[in-house]
Chain A
Amino acid sequence: AQSVTQLDSQVPVFEEAPVELRCNYSSSVSVYLFWYVQYPNQGLQLLLKYLSGSTLVKGINGFEAEFNKSQTSFHLRKPSVHISDTAEYFCAVSAIIQGAQKLVFGQGTRLTINP
């Protein structure tokens, strides 16, 4: 079975500072990894995904993530955050079981940007 652990439930940072949101996963099968963002009272939007190839993945809004197989991690980074980045961020791992995709989410990290 696969699982996802987001190591920080809340991360406060100042505007224009860099940020890293940590995600570790476990899986007994090949993994595909995603980061989603959720603004208050809305659904989730895809930030980026790792399916194969380059381990450094670039996404929308200036975010990027690095897949590290040896450390089973997929940390999300942004070099300079903006007030509008305040949201909850979810890491997810997808496993393909009997042809069906099951996406398992971490508990979420609430990112708060202070002016």
Chain B
Amino acid sequence: DGGITQSPKYLFRKEGQNVTLSCEQNLNHDAMYWYRQDPGQGLRLIYYSQIVNDFQKGDIAEGYSVSREKKESFPLTVTSAQKNPTAFYLCASSIGAPPRALHFGNGTRLTVT
């Protein structure tokens, strides 16, 4: 079945450590996105990528980094510079010229203590 796989579902890290969240899609979608979800704040865009080897900052990119070396993969690294990294992270993708609905993965819940 086609879809977006985010792993792991739950992730725990100590403060000061970098951590990488995985996002893989087999939908053959060109565009991929990372959102952060906090209670009562909806979803906020971290980074997005329209094609391989290209990505742009979203609204809250500070403390995060991404890469897009393959069409199927868009990993997100939460660095130690991110001041409040505990959140639910959602990866999404879309195909074709916008406007297009986004397809979402099931998310990774990151807890940093």
Interface residues of A (CB under 8 A from B): 4, 6, 9, 32, 34, 36, 41-46, 49, 51, 90, 94, 96, 99-108
Size bin of chain B's contact surface = 20 to 34
In the complex, what's the smallest C-beta–C-beta distance from B60 to chain A, in angstroms? 12
Q: Is chain B's interface secondary structure helix, strand, loop, or mixed overall?
A: strand
A-side contacts of B105, CB under 8 Å: 43
On whether A101 and B100 interact (CB within 8 A), knowing A9-B40, A41-B109, A108-B42, the answer reads yes
A105 near B109: Cβ-Cβ < 8 Å: no
The answer to whether B42 touches A90, judged by C-beta atoms less than 8 angstroms apart, is yes
Judged by DSSP, the binding face of A is strand
B22-59 contacts to A, CB under 8 A, are 31, 33, 35, 40-45, 48, 50, 56, 58
Contact A43 B90, beta carbon cutoff 8 Å = yes
- Pick from B6, B40, B42: contact of A105, CB under 8 Å: B42
Q: Quote the shortest CB–CB distance from B20 to chain A (angstroms).
A: 19
